[in-house]
Structure 1
């Protein structure tokens, strides 16, 4: 905005921050009349006051604009500060959360450190194991070298082994022969000892043919006192040996039964074969005469020589004892 004012003594122009003042070609002072010289001082004072007033107004306008801008900047800065405070609060919450996360992370780090220590220990153990394995490999390598050297000797060793095997076979054969001879000698010695005591040997058993007649029960007791029993008969060859040795003279054998209706059995617990024994009875025997013939004897010199008789009769008898090899 432009304002222009005109006075009798001066001219000036105010344009925003610029002030222009000039004279309108006033007459020189020497030409002024005396009456006009005093008002010039007043005019100068008014001009000065006017300039001061205008300057004040101008400064107020400038300062007002500056104050408005400053206030606006302060408000802007305050808003920024509020935003920063909010950000700081948010960041504080984040910091708290991050602090908790840091604690958890610290715990995890400690666990990881423990795990790393375990891994280090395991690595040390593995290293020790590898060192031992390396030493073992070296030993094995040396052993393989020795094995290779031995492999080179295998053909010769095989030949020696074949020779040794042949010799071993001969030795085993000789040893077996010696064992058989020793066994045979011991058996012969055992047999001779038993024979010298009146026993006879036949197919693994010793038989004693008595010379004194006894009842069947007394005969059995006598045999038991000699570690034997009245003889059983289990085969045709044994039956033939017994009746031939008895020579047709009656001898008690270990066959008996309990009562008239009882079954026959051997006193040495040999199973009684009723079907096989049929061919050893004298025809028509056993007949249990008087219901009192509960013991058997060999009466005839033939395969069919068995006879049932009263157990109280006194007859010769035959004891039987299995051969048991003596200790070497």
Structure 2
């Protein structure tokens, strides 16, 4: 019996530096002799099994406790991270609410941009159509390039022909101009001959009519007006020479008169009166305005100095003058 008691081990071990015992270290009280050897063995086996289970439990606790604690720490960290993300989500939600108006405005702008893009697309389609048309025209022009090259090769020859034609045209124009001048001269000669046949004389672009009857100065001017002319004016020494030679020393009225005794001499056909030049045509001592009644002039002598002033009421021969105007073709 004592041997059996001495064989029972004490269930005593250390966990986390703490002594753990299944029962006090002192041996259990003796309850009496085992009821049999088999029963004692069963009890011991049960005790050993419980001891092993306890040891295993403690070992598992010693192994799993740090892992469990680390897992809990990780869970706390993850929870804190999740809480931070939740806060961030809340912040983002508030920002999304604030920006919702901007998003709507952006949507309107996107619609406008889409409309602009549609317009641009239509423009691009039109441009593509224009490009196709331009390509067709370019192909047509390219097909005609050989013809243009042939024409370019013919340009020098055409230029020579053109130069010849230009020279011929110049000669033709020269001939036409000469013919035109001849035609004008013939026409002018015809006009002059017709006027001469009516009793007019021609001198340097003017016609002169030397009357065969006598009239007062005013009646003579009226007669000239009825023939589309005026009493003659004298504008040069050559014209004065022509007139006095044609008069042959007879007295003829000319278109020089003045208004009253103190008036200035003037030509009745509005030709400007050259007082300085006219001094060479007056007879010396004229005009003298005898009896304050000599207001009209005439040609009296067949010489350069042949003008004389007399009364406008005298009846004299007269000279009408009209410029040459080409007749209508």
| TM-score in same-fold range (> 0.5) | yes
1:285 aligns to what SS in structure 2?
A: coil
Which residue is 2:146 aligned to? Answer: 145
| Structure 2 counterpart of 1:178 | 179
Partners of 1:24 and 1:320 in 2: CA distance: 188
SS of the residue corresponding to residue 279 of structure 1 reads coil
Give the alignment's TM-score, normalised by structure 1.
Answer: 0.75
CA distance in 2, matches of 1:186, 1:197: 17
Evaluate the alpha carbon distance shift between residue 28 and residue 166 of structure 1 in structure 2; reply closer, same or farther with a 3 A threshold. Answer: closer
- Aligned partner of 1:25 in structure 2 is 30
Shift of 1:122: 2.3
Aligned residue pair count: 278
- 2:160 match: secondary structure: helix
> Which residues in structure 2 correspond to 1:148-297 (within 5 Å)?
148-297=149-298
Question: In the superposition, relative to structure 1, how do residues 98 and 149 fare at CA in structure 2: closer, same or farther (>3 Å)?
Answer: same
Q: Secondary structure at the match of 1:265?
A: strand
Q: Give 5+ residue unaligned stretches, structure 1.
A: 1-11, 31-68, 70-74
The equivalent residue for 2:42 is none
Structure 2 SS opposite 1:154: helix
CA offset at residue 28 of structure 1? 3.4
> Matches of 2:304 and 2:144 in 1, distance apart?
77
CA distance in 2, matches of 1:157, 1:80: 96
Deviates more, 1:125-134 or 1:85-94: 85-94
Call closer, same or farther: CA 1:204–1:139 in 2, change over 3 Å. Answer: farther
Deviation at 1:191, TM superposition (A): 1.0
The answer to whether the aligner puts 1:127 opposite 2:128 as a matched pair is yes
Aligned to 2:115: 114
* In structure 2, C-alpha distance between the alignment counterparts of 1:266 and 1:172, rounded to whole Å: 43
**Structure 1 Cα separation of the partners of residues 271 and 144 of structure 2:** 65
RMSD value, Cα: 3.1
Give 1:189 deviation, angstroms: 1.3
Q: Helix, strand or coil for the counterpart of 1:280?
A: coil
| Structure 2: gaps of 5 or more residues | 1-10, 13-17, 36-68, 70-75
Q: Deviations over 1:279-317 (max 9, x none)?
A: 111111111111111111000001111111111111000
Question: Which whole-Å CA distance do the structure 1 matches of 2:108 and 2:300 have between them?
Answer: 110
1:87 offset after TM fit, Å?
4.9
Q: Which moved more, 1:17-26 or 1:295-304?
A: 17-26
Residue 47 of structure 1 corresponds to: none
